[in-house]
Amino acid sequence: MVDGKVLIVDERKCTGCLLCVIACSVVHTGDIDLERAHIQVWRTDEDRYVPLTCHHCETPSCVRACPTKACHQDEATQRVLIDATKCIGCGTCVVACPFGHAHYDEVAGVSVKCDYCDGRVECVRVCEPKAISYVHSDDNYWVTRREVGLVKMAERLQPGGVLGVAVVPDGRPLEGELG
């Protein structure tokens, strides 16, 4: 189970301003180099913007694919992390990720991904529209996430429906809280 907090995204509020990407870049590289930021922003076919962070999957493909175990799941928090001192930069985690989140940092020479910055999530602090939030997850995070996904599927199929999957600690849909 994911312990502590999780990043969640409400794509309806994202303006595509890239402030989160800039902040992430500054925190992790000391410079504004957007391609090295750990968070990315996608534009969908509906011209919506979706900040993409690591989902910290329950069964992470990147962890399974990593030959050196540099990419690993933290036993205490269940977060998926990359140990830069062990990463050989083979890029197998990058091609293994179903979301295309992990990427290879050419300057650092290692693969990088969102690690929640040990709780000091700068992307959340700078997001003016509050599209990204850092909230407590409950013990049934994964179960609830699946249930919410199924329940909301019908709504999402309608034009204008919510893309993001998000829950609050008691399992209620997040959009109700933020809306």
Partner 1 sequence: MKGTDSRGEPSTRPGPVLSQDLLARIPLKPQATVPQRVWHLAVAGYLYLAAMGAGAFIVAVVLDWFGLRLAAIYVSPIGGWAWDWSEALVLWGPLLAAVGASFLLLHLGRNWFLFPTAWRNLRSSWLARGFVILSTFIIVGMMLAAAAVFLPHWLNRLPVLWRVAQAVGLVLAVGTAVYTSVLLTSKKYFPAWTEPVVPFLFLAFSLSTGVGGLVVGAAAYRALAADPSSADAIVSALETAMLALVVVEAALLVLYVRHLRGGKPEAQLSATMLLSGSWSPAFWAGIVGGALVLPLVLGVFDLAVGSDLLPAYLLPVAAAVGLLVGGFLLRLGILAVGVREAPPLYKLSRWRAEHSAEPNTPPRLAGRQEQ
Residue 82, token pair as written in the block: 């990359």
> Residue 107 or residue 136: which is nearer to partner 1 going by CB?
107
| Minimum CB distance to partner 1, residue 36 (Å) | 11
Residue number, 136 or 156, with CB nearest to partner 1 = 156
Residue 145's contacts (CB-CB under 8 Å, 6 or more residues apart) are: 165, 167
Q: How many CB atoms lie within 10 A of CB 140?
A: 15
Residue 74 in contact with partner 1, rule: CB under 8 A: no
How many residues make contact with partner 1 (CB under 8 A)? Answer: 59
H/E element holding 41?
strand 40-43
User: Which C-beta is closer to partner 1: that of 4 or that of 153?
Assistant: 153
Q: Is the dihedral of CA 66, 70, 71, 75 positive or negative?
A: positive
Residues 89-128 that bind partner 1 (CB under 8 A): 89-92, 94-100, 103-104, 108-111, 128
Distance from chain centroid for Cα 150: 20
- Per CB under 8 A, contacts with partner 1 among 40-69 are 40-50, 61, 64-69
Could you say whether residue 73 binds partner 1 (CB under 8 A)? no
Maximum separation of any 2 CA atoms in the chain, in Å: 46
With beta carbons less than 8 A apart as the criterion, state whether 80 and 34 touch. no
Asked if 158 interacts with partner 1 (CB under 8 A), we say yes
Can you tell me the distance from the alpha carbon of 20 to that of 120, in angstroms, rounded to the nearest whole number?
Answer: 13
Binding site for partner 1 (CB under 8 A): 13, 15-19, 21, 32, 34-35, 40-50, 61, 64-69, 85-92, 94-100, 103-104, 108-111, 128-129, 156-159, 161, 163-165
